[in-house]
Amino acid sequence: MDWLTLIRAPRLGTAGALRLLQHCGSAAGCFTSDIPASLDLHAETRAYLRAPDRSAAEQDLGWMQKSGAVLVTLLDPAYPPLLKQISDPPVALFARGDVTLLSQPQLAMVGSRNPSVEGRRNAEEFAAYLAQCGLVITSGMALGIDAASHKGALKKGQTVAVWGTGLDKAYPPRNRELAEEIAAKGVVVTEFPPGTPPLPTHFPRRNRIISGLSVGTLVVEAAKQSGSLITARLASEQGREVFAIPGSIHNPMAKGCHRLLRDGAKLVESAADILEELAPLLGLAALPAAALAAPEAQAAPEDPEYKLLLNSLDFAPTSVDALVERTGLTPDVVSSMLLMLELQGHVEASPGGRYSRVNKRS
């Protein structure tokens, strides 16, 4: 109850809470000790500590008991050691699920909320591979790359979802079912108490936890001004590895990754590139790529026109008009052949009537 009361203290902040705990020795002591001026606490914080309102904490406790959530405090042995190393670790974490995952080797995967078809597929495939190889996949449960990363990880292993709201408010609402699945098979976690809404300022704070829990951060796809770049910058400042997947120069969702690569992020073409960097450090047993690879597409067609069409396709989405111009075939023939190639696993349809060649990774 003392911890729940303390984390609701107004204008306290992480730094102030850490100074207060160091002086008082415990959460309970924060409400009984004399607080010296040297701790530099706001007047509103001091007034709260002298006469705390415990009603909100009682409501929090009731919700936690009903939902099965727990509170992991900075002084708790279960507090994730990597997160404790950052400059401003959360004073406490609300969690639902397997809290031991918070202390296991994690890779953060982040990216665009509106990814390309290839970006979404890359996120799922990378997450599934790396989860099966022993890494816990950590992300922010946003739409797009975050959700794809969680889903991929759940296919082969485990995942951590860090929220920018209280755990009683799944955000975005479209991911409510995913949130429940993660809570059942992995863990959902936040520093914000129940009832906290999705305010814009909360998500950069969430990002420092995503990167702080993880040994490295992989940016799958991101625009130039993406919030994922904030996570990557925080990871770098925290002394963690930063990885980025390159993309087409014509894809605006690749520009953020290209910027990271120019700034020194490690270029990733396959999940093996990440394992090569992290496995020796973590003692992970990398499984053979062939054992984890997706089923191969059928053999490439021998028909000259099919070969011509397939060779005219880009790995980035290409319009039917462009393919007609490149091949000299009629629109009807190109559309029919594309459908057959899609059924055989050689091409993939994208929004807007575009098609891309499937890039099978080893």
Give the tens place of pLDDT for each residue, 8-57. 888 888 888 888 888 888 888 888 888 888 888 888 988 888 888 888 88
- The rounded distance, in Å, linking the Cα atoms of 215 and 156 is 20
pLDDT for the residue numbered 278: 87
Q: Do residues 229 and 257 make contact, with C-beta atoms less than 8 angstroms apart?
A: no
pLDDT for the residue numbered 53: 83
- Helix, strand or coil, per DSSP, at residue 192: coil
Q: Do residues 100 and 71 make contact, with C-beta atoms less than 8 angstroms apart?
A: no
Q: Do residues 355 and 342 make contact, with C-beta atoms less than 8 angstroms apart?
A: yes
pLDDT for the residue numbered 98: 97
Strands (E), 273-329: 318-319
| Alpha helices per DSSP H over 70-224 | 81-84, 117-132, 145-156, 176-185, 202-213
- The rounded distance, in Å, linking the Cα atoms of 130 and 39 is 44
Residue numbers in the chain where pLDDT is lower than 50: 286-297, 362
Q: Do residues 167 and 190 make contact, with C-beta atoms less than 8 angstroms apart?
A: yes
**At a CB cut-off of 8 Å and minimum separation 6, what does 92 contact?**
3, 7, 71, 72, 73, 74, 191
Question: What is this structure's pTM?
Answer: 0.81
